[in-house]
């Protein structure tokens, strides 16, 4: 698929090893895994891959971003609706 860059945005993923790509006018989103990422022909660490992508992407298309993702370690599961 090909999308105009001005319709795309990046956001934090579910943890620090991924990013989320969203496209205006498209349902859903795509998870971009950063583990063992290949950037410009080089395998980079998660933090270096994220930094390289963000540097090239440009701040205008980057959504809410924090330096670290904080997750509540007490969370084990979500509500389940049965029957």
In a domain, 32, yes or no: yes
Q: Distance between CA atoms of 31 and 50, rounded to whole angstroms? A: 13
In a domain, 28, yes or no: yes
In a domain, 73, yes or no: no
In a domain, 77, yes or no: no
Domain that holds residue 48: 5-61
Q: pTM of the entire structure?
A: 0.66
pLDDT digits (tens, 9 = 90+) for 10-28: 888 889 899 999 898 999 8
pLDDT digits (tens, 9 = 90+) for 24-70: 899 989 999 999 899 989 999 999 999 888 888 876 556 654 444 44
In a domain, 68, yes or no: no
Question: How many domains is the chain built from?
Answer: 1
Question: What is the per-residue pLDDT for 67?
Answer: 41
In a domain, 46, yes or no: yes
Which pLDDT band, with edges at 50, 70 and 90, does 71 fall under?
Answer: very low
Which residue's entry shows tokens 């205008």? 60
């Amino acid at each position: 698929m090909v999308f105009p860059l001005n319709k795309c945005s990046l956001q934090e993923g579910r943890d620090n090893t991924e990013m989320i790509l969203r496209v205006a006018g498209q349902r859903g989103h795509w998870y971009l895994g950063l583990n063992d990422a290949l950037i410009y022909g080089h395998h980079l660490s998660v933090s270096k891959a994220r930094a390289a992508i963000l540097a090239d992407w440009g701040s205008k298309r980057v959504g809410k971003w924090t330096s670290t993702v904080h997750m509540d370690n007490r969370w084990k599961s979500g509500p389940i609706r049965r029957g």
